Structure 1
Amino acid sequence: MQCLQDQDALIPRPRGTLPRVCAAVLAAVSIGVIVLLSPERLFGWVAMVILTLTLGPLLHGLCLLAEEVLYHSNTRYRGVLSHMLPACGLGGKTLLTAGLAGLLLYLAGHPLPHKGQCGKLLVLASVLYALFKSLGVLGPSEVEVSDICERRKMNVAHGLAWSFYLGYLRLVLPHLEDSITKFHATHQANSPFRSRGSRKLLILIPLNANISHKLEDEDDNIHFYDNLPNNEINRAGVRGRVYKHSVYRVLDGDGKAHECVVEYATPLLTLYSMSQESSAGFGEPERRQQVLLFYRTLQDILDHSLECRNRYTLILLKDEHEDDPHVLSKAILRHLQQQEKEEFCLTPPPHQETEHPLSSTPSSLPINNYWHHPDPMSREPTLMFSLERPLPLKEPVENTDDYQGRQ
């Protein structure tokens, strides 16, 4: 389990609600201080601040709307005004909040000594907000942009993960078991795929996104063995499009070969190529972050996929041991050994009878006119029914006569 714990320490978790909680606490403390200092003007101050915070975005939205209406109405929104308004931030929530704040300010009265000061402050704050927002001074931080992209699935990694799943894994993984069975039938002499763990597709995801087209070039303990039978699927107008997998033999420290179906996640080639193009604006830190998001997104997609369940293993390859020439084979062997430890045999081997450790009954005795064979401990749980009638915990004692005699 150590390798999975190391992977979990690298994968970024989705952002939570801690910023909202901190903001709510700060607002509650500030309002409490104002209540203690000047409670009579609390509602007026709150109404004026809310109105200022909502009028600014509304004015900035009007500035954005002017650009969209004049130059992008038909190309981006097909001339539909109801699509342009929320896209510019002129949504119903903002308008409703501004209206309620204005009504509250009218009912509570102006918190400033002079009426003109309140109006001037509202106009000046709203106009300056729109100006600074347009200049980027009040723009969202990198954390906010990252959070928005992750929540709305707008990252490059999200698109690549879904494309990899829908265009490849969901098509080939359901046929993987049959392909391995056919491969095993034609390679009986070498007898590969003895263990169940090697019957899964091992998907390699290196953090640096640098993929070699031949695994033996990366590690001399890995040798190409053969290809599985081709899967031909009609796809996007192509009749009999061929999908194939390669079988590799991975040597451990003792020189023993372990057969497995392994390949790199091909969408990482796109991420690596984007980081090499200056026009893509995609540097090495962004590439590493997208690789981690790709791993997390793909893992989440496959965890909810019934077609791919128990047919794959994602292997995240760190880039901190690049000087080790056998880091790739060690990572593959570590996951193969972990699979063998975690999986259990649900049915006993043929022609094998195991006595129950708590029973002294021979391996085959007649019980209630039925021949009973004790099951091994690794079998699936079954329901046991008793043929005897249930008995009460304690039989009732009739004491009516004794009670009448005492009377």
Structure 2
Amino acid sequence: MQCLRDQDALIPQPRGDVPKVCAAALAAITIGGIMVLSPERLFGWVAMVTLILTLGPLMHGVCLMAEEILHHANTRYQGRALWSQVLTACGLGGKTLLVAGLAVLLLYLGGDPLPHKGQSWKLLFLASGLYALLKSLGVLGPSDVEVSDICEGRKMNVAHGLAWSFYLGYLRLVLPRLEDSITAFQATHQASCPYWGRGSRKLLILIPLNANISHKLEDEDDNIHFYDNLPNNEIDRAGVRGRVYKHSVYRVVDEHGKAHECVVEYATPLLTLYKMSQESSAGFGEAMRRQQVLLFYRTLQEILDHSLECRNRFKLILLNDEHVDDPHFLSKAILRHLEQQEKEEFCLTPPPHQETAHPCADTSIAQPNGLPINRDWHRPEPMSREPTLMFSLEQPLPLREPVENTDHYQGRT
């Protein structure tokens, strides 16, 4: 079990812009080399290469469009706005067409870079046709990194769907009611459960990397004992009247024999990931499962951090499966998180009582004109006193003229 400070090292971060920076640097180097070798044909070479790189995807998009129109017009596009949807889906968007048009204009203005007339157009059509063939055969297909980047950027991973389902279908419903449930539970268990720590008032959600979940925590660690269930929450959901949502309270025993009560459970969507990895038809291996668990953790953390209903009512605990030989790794992980929250979180003291009356009202005497004089004017007022407006009944005085009181010629003879 890794320490809490090493937990962030396991979570994959979103991919950055390093490939774009490297590509821009590589393009600058190659263009600079062409400028040195043959500066008179620079624009022609750039235009021809750009046309090759854009006409190839355009011709491949035409091949994809033929399949979509012939076999998927009704099932995938419902026959509505067919051309606009198919063109965009097949990569025949305005951006590619614009770049290709600009490259044609640049080639026309810059001239043919090849010595013999017509060789450039032959090279363009041949390269474009071969690109479409190799692309269709998968030789020029996207790499695994590109596919992963696309899926993460467009939220298309299995982990994203499971995280949102777990939040919308469960956590957003039960976490706002958790504090009231714990308060009601404490009221009925004061004798056996007199005090709960601040960290124990949150829902601890366990996320093991191997996605292998036990239905009873005491089966994995004999230092964990089931204590009782919190009061049930009944919510009308999806046509079911009074659907029951419940949480279990466990007692975790530390190395000194002291029991700590907390509400803890596994993230149930991990059962889906584990079962998918056991089915060959799902195409979901162990390496992919581990990656999806990490993405599930990151996505769920981001969702809950931005949720006003769930903020400060949960704690995600990522369990590393490298040290499964420790029979008490689960209880140690839970206790470590409870101890961390006890040290890092604190309750603000209640604000002091705000006085509504002036504290020195009874120590004042009256002037001949009827205005009170406060004998304790020098006594500082409490900081908690509410701000008040003070008015003066005296006539306003004119501003005094500036008086020069500095002798600049002092000491001169």
Match of 2:288?
Answer: 286
SS at match of 1:75: coil
* Alpha-carbon distance in structure 1 between the residues aligned to 2:19 and 2:303: 27
The one-letter code sitting in structure 1 at the alignment partner of 2:275 is S
* Alpha-carbon distance in structure 2 between the residues aligned to 1:14 and 1:402: 69
Larger radius of gyration: 2
Match of 1:167?
Answer: 169
Match of 2:341?
Answer: 339
- Aligned with 1:263 (options 257, 262, 265): 265
* Alpha-carbon distance in structure 1 between the residues aligned to 2:301 and 2:161: 14
**CA 400–198 in structure 1, closer or farther in 2 if over 3 Å, else same:** closer
- Once the two structures are TM-superposed, the CA of residue 5 in structure 1 deviates from its matched residue by 2.3
TM-score by length of 1: 0.87
Q: Deviations along 1:305-358, whole A, 9 cap, x unmatched?
A: 1100000000000001101110000000000000000012311699xxxxxxxx
- Aligned with 1:120 (options 104, 119, 122): 122
Instruction: Give runs of aligned pairs for residues 235-274 of structure 1, distance below 5 A.
Output: 235-274=237-276
- Once the two structures are TM-superposed, the CA of residue 298 in structure 1 deviates from its matched residue by 0.4
Match of 2:188?
Answer: 186
Instruction: Give runs of aligned pairs for residues 7-406 of structure 1, distance below 5 A.
Output: 7-79=7-79, 80-347=82-349, 398-399=404-405
Match of 1:392?
Answer: none
* Alpha-carbon distance in structure 2 between the residues aligned to 1:369 and 1:233: 58
SS at match of 1:249: strand
Q: Deviations along 1:206-247, whole A, 9 cap, x unmatched?
A: 000000000000100000000000011111111111100000
* Alpha-carbon distance in structure 1 between the residues aligned to 2:350 and 2:98: 68
CA contact (8 A) 1:251 1:258 kept: yes
Identity %: 80
- Once the two structures are TM-superposed, the CA of residue 78 in structure 1 deviates from its matched residue by 1.3
* Alpha-carbon distance in structure 1 between the residues aligned to 2:99 and 2:78: 29
CA contact (8 A) 1:193 1:199 kept: no
Q: Deviations along 1:264-321, whole A, 9 cap, x unmatched?
A: 0000000000000000000100000000000000001111111000000000000011
- Once the two structures are TM-superposed, the CA of residue 192 in structure 1 deviates from its matched residue by 4.6
The one-letter code sitting in structure 2 at the alignment partner of 1:60 is H
The one-letter code sitting in structure 2 at the alignment partner of 1:398 is E
RMSD: 2.6
**CA 400–310 in structure 1, closer or farther in 2 if over 3 Å, else same:** closer
* Alpha-carbon distance in structure 1 between the residues aligned to 2:245 and 2:275: 24
CA contact (8 A) 1:199 1:260 kept: yes
- Once the two structures are TM-superposed, the CA of residue 103 in structure 1 deviates from its matched residue by 1.0
CA contact (8 A) 1:56 1:125 kept: yes
Q: Which runs of 5+ in 2 are unaligned?
A: 353-375, 391-401
- Once the two structures are TM-superposed, the CA of residue 194 in structure 1 deviates from its matched residue by 2.2
Q: Which runs of 5+ in 1 are unaligned?
A: 351-365, 376-381, 388-395
Moved more, 72-81 or 137-146: 72-81
- Once the two structures are TM-superposed, the CA of residue 398 in structure 1 deviates from its matched residue by 3.5
* Alpha-carbon distance in structure 1 between the residues aligned to 2:381 and 2:58: 83
TM-score by length of 2: 0.86
CA contact (8 A) 1:193 1:260 kept: no
Count of residues in correspondence between the two structures: 374
Superposition misfits of 4+ residues, deviation over 4 angstroms:
366-373, 382-385, 400-403
* Alpha-carbon distance in structure 2 between the residues aligned to 1:5 and 1:322: 19
**CA 256–384 in structure 1, closer or farther in 2 if over 3 Å, else same:** farther
